Chain A
Amino acid sequence: MRVRLTAVLLVGALALAACGREVGQDTADGDPDDGQTAAEGGEEVSCDVDETDGDLLLYNWSEYMDPDLLTAFADEHGVAATEDTFTSNEALLAQIRAGGADYDVIIPSDYMVAIMIEEGLLLPLDADALPNTDNVSGDFMSPPYDPDLTYSRPYQWGTTGLGVNTDATGPDPEATWGWLFDEQMREGLRISMLDDPREGMGAALYYLGYDPNTTDESELQEAADLVANNDQIVTFTSDQFTELLIGGETDIGQGFSGNFLDNFEEDNYVYLIPEEGATIWTDNMAILNTTSSPCTAHTFINFILDAENGAQLTNWTWYASPNEAATEFLDEEVRENPSIYPDESVRENLYFLENTGEAERLYTDLFTRAQG
């Protein structure tokens, strides 16, 4: 019995190993040196404006799409539009890497777009089918993660900064990362930082005056030491920074603009974009190269890029729209909020986090150790 069982298991293992290799070729042959991606050999799609070729399946973050907008799209184009939700960029990537994801349009963040492009998971877009791209603000026309917008169109954007309880810091706090790292400023404060190596290390790198995309090991070590030796950091979290701040468990939190701003109803909370520099991020619409209705997908992206639809989305999410033409349709309380739409002077000091290749692992290792 035992012998037979072992034999069965062995055969199974061999069969699986063979399967694994097949799948591996889709997901893993993106060695850095073969810069070309699967998409190069893949099919290019050509669609007419507003052409549909099937139903739409959207894979999005929860609470990140006005349901009325989705219904409007379905009605306007006579297709069914379904939305499923994921919980993180990495969970999204894992699903797609494994293959068999049925989705047409996905909403990955900037760095994730770069990774997906490199792994050949995205369909090159047919620019002719997306005339509303003209509505996109010039700031988002050549982002570092997809310089020619070959694979993506921006969906929403925001910044990473500091949420501050002014009861703890005093009124009119200075916009600086010093709140996290300056020993005098941070004294007695309870701090939360993002549980993300690039954002966490990024804050320290800005404070030290280094490039947030540096690959220099000594600079990174210096940044990690700042985090490691900071006893005022009580926790690392990527989704609770607002609750902790408002609930009184922390005095300062590193976090994302929209999440803070949505909830700052009392005067003693402010959102700061530090002057040393801060991170700007975007979430983007992209089409999976396994889509069964590429033209419907294009039509949907074009629909969101429409001025009025883009405004409706932002009025619902309270995240900034990359759609310049949408500005006039925005609710005033959104448009006039400097924390959602920062001034030009602040905008100049915002940086995208770029893929650092080999150094990504260094970021992760150093930050994980610094977290203790």
Chain B
Amino acid sequence: MSVLEMPGAGGPDVAEDSLARPRRAVDRVLAGNAWLVFAFLYLPIVVLIVYSFNDNQRVGIWTEASLRWYGEMFGNARVMDALRNSILVAIVSTAVATVLGTAAGLSMERYRYRGQRAFDGLLYLPVIIPDITMAVMLLLFFVQTFDLIFLATGIQFSRGLGTIMLAHVSFNISFVALVVRARLAGLDGALEEAAADLYANRWQAFRRVTLPLIAPGVAGGALLALTLSLDDVVIAEFVSGAGSTTLPVYVFGALRRGVTPLINAVSVLMLVGSILLVLMSLAVSRGRESSGG
């Protein structure tokens, strides 16, 4: 998370100065809008949290407050397994997709070479294709590829968490690349070229100049990828194998018996977990900043 901090970490913001100018009215409207957006974003979350303390079997029917579902959640091995699978898949696929997607975005925006247009198109397709189509095609693909590998080498691969990760990376690359490109487009290329001349090697130039420049795009892309991976039901169900049920797949399957507040409780757990993570990374980066000057 600390990557989020990089762009402005070096000093006070020019933006702050500009706000001091007589734009108070506009700024007030913008601030008001921001509050409304946050209200909109958190309204269902409040409902979700409230109903996780509902004693009733059904999510939507309030009876009385209780911690019943939190107790059941920790006692339910299947839910905990599914939660662990989901988090594992989300973290690994986000990490890989962020690296590959950033590289793709850079290559697309900063260089010109033949064949680029074909790749450009290829990059958009995973965003466009409906989930279910992607799920079916990946399933068929994995089955046939594993058969071929088995015939050729005698090694039998099977579907599981690994195939879910592969699938998630293949749609997340595009989302990361798109966000990174939006950041890169119009950024002054001169800085990077200057850096390339300045630093001993290209990696240093990239790390010291380009990466800080595109960090907000990379962070945004990574956040998107994480969200998409955590929410995917259809693709995960199709390309999963033995013992790799993810949380959304479990929840969808449980629909036939109705959504119990158990799932709300799991969601609250995930929310609390992610908030703690964010706070920790903020604390770490603040500590590093103050000790490092």
Asked if A and B touch directly (CB within 8 angstroms), the answer is: yes
> Residue A23 contacts which of B118, B144, B159 (CB distance < 8 angstroms)?
B144
> Residues of A contacting B5 with CB < 8 Å?
none
Query: Is A41 positioned at the interface, with any CB of B under 8 Å from its CB?
Result: no
Q: Are B258 and A100 within 8 A (Cβ)?
A: no
Q: Are B255 and A239 within 8 A (Cβ)?
A: yes
Query: Is B142 positioned at the interface, with any CB of A under 8 Å from its CB?
Result: yes
Q: Closest A-chain residue to B116, C-beta based? A: A1
> Residues of A contacting B254 with CB < 8 Å?
62-63, 85
Q: Are B57 and A95 within 8 A (Cβ)?
A: no
> Residues of A contacting B58 with CB < 8 Å?
242-243, 246, 263
How many interface residues does B have (CB within 8 Å)?
A: 43
Query: Is B130 positioned at the interface, with any CB of A under 8 Å from its CB?
Result: no
Query: Is A262 positioned at the interface, with any CB of B under 8 Å from its CB?
Result: yes
| Known A2-B115, A246-B60: A62·B143 in contact at CB below 8 Å | no
Q: Are B237 and A243 within 8 A (Cβ)?
A: no
Query: Is A82 positioned at the interface, with any CB of B under 8 Å from its CB?
Result: yes
Q: Closest B-chain residue to A9, C-beta based? A: B118
- Please report which residues of chain B, range 55-107, place their CB below 8 angstroms from some CB of chain A when the two chains form the complex: 56-61, 76-78
> Residues of B contacting A256 with CB < 8 Å?
256
- CA–CA, A2 to B120, complex, Å? 13
Query: Is B124 positioned at the interface, with any CB of A under 8 Å from its CB?
Result: no
- CA–CA, A5 to B120, complex, Å? 14
Query: Is B139 positioned at the interface, with any CB of A under 8 Å from its CB?
Result: yes
Q: Are A62 and B253 within 8 A (Cβ)?
A: yes
- Please report which residues of chain B, range 136-177, place their CB below 8 angstroms from some CB of chain A when the two chains form the complex: 136, 139-140, 142-144, 146-148, 158-159
Q: Are A86 and B253 within 8 A (Cβ)?
A: yes
Query: Is B53 positioned at the interface, with any CB of A under 8 Å from its CB?
Result: no
| Known A87-B253, A100-B158: A247·B60 in contact at CB below 8 Å | yes
> Residue B259 contacts which of A5, A87, A243, A258 (CB distance < 8 angstroms)?
A243
How many interface residues does A have (CB within 8 Å)?
A: 40
> Residue B158 contacts which of A86, A87, A102 (CB distance < 8 angstroms)?
A102
Q: Closest B-chain residue to A86, C-beta based? A: B253
- Please report which residues of chain B, range 247-293, place their CB below 8 angstroms from some CB of chain A when the two chains form the complex: 249-259
Q: Are B57 and A262 within 8 A (Cβ)?
A: yes
- CA–CA, A246 to B256, complex, Å? 16
> Residues of B contacting A103 with CB < 8 Å?
242
Query: Is A98 positioned at the interface, with any CB of B under 8 Å from its CB?
Result: yes
The binding surface of chain A is classed by DSSP as mixed
> Residues of B contacting A98 with CB < 8 Å?
136, 139-140, 143
- CA–CA, A16 to B144, complex, Å? 9
> Residues of A contacting B148 with CB < 8 Å?
19
Query: Is B240 positioned at the interface, with any CB of A under 8 Å from its CB?
Result: yes
The total number of A-B Cβ pairs within 8 Å is 115
> Residue B78 contacts which of A20, A67, A100 (CB distance < 8 angstroms)?
A67
| Known A100-B147, A243-B258, A259-B256: A84·B242 in contact at CB below 8 Å | yes
Q: Closest A-chain residue to B118, C-beta based? A: A5
| Known A86-B237, A102-B241: A246·B146 in contact at CB below 8 Å | no
- CA–CA, A178 to B250, complex, Å? 36
Query: Is A83 positioned at the interface, with any CB of B under 8 Å from its CB?
Result: yes
- CA–CA, A82 to B249, complex, Å? 16
Q: Closest B-chain residue to A239, C-beta based? A: B255
Query: Is B23 positioned at the interface, with any CB of A under 8 Å from its CB?
Result: no
Query: Is B243 positioned at the interface, with any CB of A under 8 Å from its CB?
Result: yes
Query: Is B52 positioned at the interface, with any CB of A under 8 Å from its CB?
Result: no
- CA–CA, A247 to B61, complex, Å? 6
Query: Is B54 positioned at the interface, with any CB of A under 8 Å from its CB?
Result: no
Q: Closest A-chain residue to B61, C-beta based? A: A246
Query: How distant is A86 from chain B, measured CB to nearest CB, in Å?
Result: 6
- Please report which residues of chain A, range 1-43, place their CB below 8 angstroms from some CB of chain B when the two chains form the complex: 1-2, 5, 16, 19-20, 23
> Residue B249 contacts which of A2, A87, A259 (CB distance < 8 angstroms)?
A87
Q: Are A100 and B143 within 8 A (Cβ)?
A: yes
- CA–CA, A265 to B147, complex, Å? 52
> Residues of B contacting A61 with CB < 8 Å?
253, 256-257
Query: Is A57 positioned at the interface, with any CB of B under 8 Å from its CB?
Result: yes
> Residues of A contacting B252 with CB < 8 Å?
62, 87
Q: Are A263 and B258 within 8 A (Cβ)?
A: yes
Q: Closest A-chain residue to B63, C-beta based? A: A265
> Residue A91 contacts which of B56, B59, B77, B237 (CB distance < 8 angstroms)?
B237
Q: Closest B-chain residue to A5, C-beta based? A: B118
Question: Across chains A and B, which 10 residue pairs bring their CB atoms closest together, nearest first?
Answer: A62-B253, A62-B254, A85-B253, A100-B143, A239-B255, A1-B115, A247-B60, A87-B252, A1-B114, A63-B257
- 12 contacting pairs across A/B (C-beta < 8 A): A2-B118, A82-B242, A86-B237, A87-B237, A87-B249, A98-B139, A100-B146, A102-B242, A239-B258, A240-B255, A242-B58, A246-B60
Given contacts A23-B143, A262-B258, 19 further A-B contacts (CB under 8 A): A5-B115, A19-B148, A61-B253, A61-B256, A82-B243, A83-B78, A85-B245, A85-B250, A87-B237, A87-B249, A95-B238, A98-B140, A98-B143, A100-B159, A102-B158, A102-B241, A243-B258, A247-B61, A256-B256
B residues within 8 Å of A by Cβ? 56-61, 76-78, 114-115, 118, 136, 139-140, 142-144, 146-148, 158-159, 233, 237-238, 240-245, 249-259
